[in-house]
Structure 1
């Protein structure tokens, strides 16, 4: 996500193709099951224990694949949806939850048998006819309809299915995915996705992954998208609008799909033209680009106030500048491929993407990272930059605040000074490579940095990630 969120005025199915994700989801069984109490209860917990979003995600199972079929009418703002989730129980289950808010559920089955369900706030509580055995694979099919309503995040920004004048800007970080499909909505649980989206002829529908095809009949156009690599629910999109589309392949064979609102096309064109060179540069630093597809969704959504690193195809509320393009595509490594296990560790996403901006500027004739660091460090101790430590923002209201981005990047610069350029870049590349398609924590990153450098870095990380106030600089 672009740094930090700008204030908004007026507001305070293809199972046979799962080869890429198969090893990652089942390796996560212990991680996902860890949120469950140690007792022998057979109820899947509502929430995975995230300190900032306690109801996010669910316990007792792992979703391997989402098959989402959507039909959206921008004029009436009505959405018809069907979600088929293929999952595996990580414990015996007589009941489990999905995160799903607002839309009316009209039918629900577990393994093709009707199941009892009820709504409890953002929880869709499901009781299957037969208990699910530990290790059993099962399918949940949910049919639903209604007018999706965005959620307001703790920082006052809009999240989820955000209506625009010609469709919807669909951005889910941190909790908005539940506004348009039932999900295990926490970064701990990643899955592959298939999207089938039908919209009126003349409208576009852009999701994640590779476009498998589109077909127009009876005044409606249906788009089919496939996201093979594992993806957290908050990174999914199904943005609808009027778009100019450009498709091509990079020299590395990455399929690029750019969808641009005509009102933003002139401003966006020179920046989007640089995408292949940005991806090539980032790949040299961090390792091969982690996905089959890339591109951009440039919408005209002036009330949103941010961009988001939707997986494989970042979503922009207006024409991005070059720094924003660099930032959101750095997230494809740091945040999308390597995901969080707790929102408290958000600096691993935003600090890394911000520091990538600094590196890009430094290596392309602009200010050095040291100059950017010095300008920030010159701020008074009373400045908001030092308001809270980036390694523990303290609440969901602050996870997109300035310290997470800027002081997070400053932490990496201090690390770079401590270990030297060669070792620093080796650490970043190893982080992206060792955790590819999986997860990482701050403690794991600290251990990696110490292993690669042979230095004890506890004092550095404590000062820059966890101490209050303005740290002393080396």
Structure 2
């Protein structure tokens, strides 16, 4: 999620493991179709973000090798993307903004390519048959520039800092540093090889493979995230960090990293991340990944993002509730990933409600008290005008998606009772582990477990531009 340090949620912090998104489903195709009908579409099919992602293929794995020099801000990269064609392909697109592409190969054979805006169009030397697996390798370099949307999202993506880079890419900033199918409906596993000047640390998702290797004044770090991950959660956060590593009380690997400016929060971040991760396993079910923790960097983003296994906090010491929020996202958003951005409340509403559950767990304010406080806001409050069940692309991280989304869950809890509600949370995370989810699926499961018609409740809380009674 994106969460400002004054406590108002402004900007955040995704079927089966390799499932094909609806926008990627193969049409009837053959080599007899004209070439233009065998081209992968330049968008994956999300009407709110029509140019995000790409059609015609489904990514299984990214192997990213990047070298970055903070002093010059230059990035050199080689991205090997392994994918399966979901239609016959004479060409296909990858999302990439800025940066210079020096060469492209498909299955180790040089391929023609062209650039237009954020689209890198690749034309393999021969047609890729539907159902076949292929690898496209892109060699690129340049000075990465972050994405900016001051009216909505702020600054995100690959953000150069004096000692490295702050990498937080939600919703579509991964294209600022590697070529990808940049939409949450196409998840994949990742390997990262990151080379930086000696004395600089490179952090990425998952777990480190071996020890860093230093030679010729440069150090190479290798990381692997073996669980499927949406592209916007991928990170290569680089800089000077103090580290603390170990395991939670239940044995989950735990890594906390802080910029030297925030060294005083290192132990607190490590301890709280472990404690909260372990507690959420009792509420939401088994932890979906192999490690947990968090990173505090000296970049005044004013928000946090739930990068898979390594939530990132931008320029502040995170409060306990923010850590609880970002770690809840490891279940809601990271393991269970939305197919389309319109369902963002399934990420942010759940993580916001997790804050309330943490407060209850610690004997502080109850979820019911928080709900009542919020419900007492006047009908003129802008939150009631924004139905969170249909997130707006030009106001994606509106407070309503967080707060009213969380209130929806509490209203549901009141309607079906604690026993059914908490059973629902565990069933929801178990049945869709590592997959994709929609609002309709959640409503169906809630009705199935409760035996109740919950249409009026969800309609009032998610889809009506007024305060529910």
Q: TM-score, normalised by structure 2?
A: 0.94
Deviation, structure 1 residue 253: 2.8
Alignment partner of 1:339 out of 337, 340, 350: 337
Deviation, structure 1 residue 2: 4.0
Residue deviations 1:421-440, cap 9 Å, x none?
11001111111110000010
- SS where residue 290 of structure 1 aligns? coil
Matched, 1:272 2:270: yes
Residue deviations 1:16-59, cap 9 Å, x none?
xxxxxxx9344x1363524x767862111111121221111111
Contact 2:56 2:87 in 1 (8 A): yes
Residue deviations 1:258-303, cap 9 Å, x none?
211011121353243122211111000111100011111110111x
Matched, 1:197 2:189: no
Unaligned 5+ residue runs, structure 2?
Answer: 9-14
Q: Who is 2:185 aligned against?
A: 188
Matches within 5 A, 1:102-117: 102-117=98-113
Q: Who is 1:457 aligned against?
A: 454
Q: Who is 1:439 aligned against?
A: 436
Alignment partner of 1:309 out of 299, 306, 309: 306
- SS where residue 436 of structure 2 aligns? coil
- SS where residue 24 of structure 1 aligns? coil
Contact 1:83 1:142 in 2 (8 A): yes
Taking the aligned partners of 1:52 and 1:268, their CA distance within structure 2 comes to 39
Taking the aligned partners of 1:296 and 1:271, their CA distance within structure 2 comes to 7
Taking the aligned partners of 2:5 and 2:16, their CA distance within structure 1 comes to 31
Residue deviations 1:60-105, cap 9 Å, x none?
1111010000000001000000000011101111010001100100
- SS where residue 305 of structure 2 aligns? coil
Alignment partner of 2:146 out of 138, 147, 150: 150
Q: Who is 1:24 aligned against?
A: 16
Matched, 1:51 2:40: no
Residue deviations 1:404-426, cap 9 Å, x none?
00000000000000000110011
- SS where residue 87 of structure 1 aligns? strand
| Cα distance, 1:100–1:6 mapped onto 2, change above 3 Å | farther
Unaligned 5+ residue runs, structure 1?
Answer: 9-22
- SS where residue 245 of structure 1 aligns? strand
More displaced 10-residue stretch of structure 1: 154-163 or 436-445 = 154-163
Deviation, structure 1 residue 6: 7.5
Contact 1:101 1:179 in 2 (8 A): yes
Q: Who is 2:96 aligned against?
A: 100
Matched, 1:33 2:24: yes
- SS where residue 49 of structure 2 aligns? coil
Taking the aligned partners of 2:114 and 2:5, their CA distance within structure 1 comes to 35
- SS where residue 159 of structure 1 aligns? strand
- SS where residue 406 of structure 1 aligns? helix
Q: Who is 1:11 aligned against?
A: none
Q: TM-score, normalised by structure 1?
A: 0.93
Taking the aligned partners of 2:269 and 2:256, their CA distance within structure 1 comes to 12
Matches within 5 A, 1:395-414: 395-414=392-411
Taking the aligned partners of 1:161 and 1:38, their CA distance within structure 2 comes to 39
| Cα distance, 1:231–1:257 mapped onto 2, change above 3 Å | same
Q: Who is 1:12 aligned against?
A: none
